[in-house]
Amino acid sequence: MPTYELCLLFKVLPRTELASCLKRTASKIFETGGFIRRIDNLGTSKTPWKMSSHDSINKEASYFIVEFDAPNSALKSFNNYLSRDIDIIKRTIFRVTENTSQSPCTLHEELKPPAYRSEVQEMIAIGKRKREKEAKKKVQFNTGLDFMPFQR
């Protein structure tokens, strides 16, 4: 099952009602065959702009991030359920991709001065290639004359 991250903005509610809203959302994840990895409460703060949801305008919201695993087939019905919940102002589901391309960090590599690290040397090589390309793009006056008639 792939891992997803759900960003939720709830209306500003008392703590007990907010807990019941989270419980509803979590139970729906469990009903769809998924399981929750983590729930983060980011607190209550102002929204970047006025958000209208279910015929009400909201300027403040409670922010939560829920990381969960669920089957792909259940995601559409789960998103439909969230869109009908009147306490949710905004919801967004992202698929979390595991970044396996990074090499493991070693202390020996990190203790080297920056100029000797492999990542820095790669960046220097990329910069050199870009400068060489720019140098080739410059105009060269190949008139065949020994002097430039338009310059004094």
Give tens-digit pLDDT for 49-103: 999 988 899 999 999 999 999 999 999 999 999 999 999 999 999 999 876 566 6
The mean of the pLDDT values for the chain is: 87
pLDDT (0 to 100) of residue 100: 56
The rounded distance, in Å, linking the Cα atoms of 70 and 65 is 15
pLDDT (0 to 100) of residue 143: 59
Contacts of 74 (CB under 8 A, 6+ apart): 32, 33, 34
The rounded distance, in Å, linking the Cα atoms of 45 and 59 is 9
Q: Whole-prediction pTM value?
A: 0.64
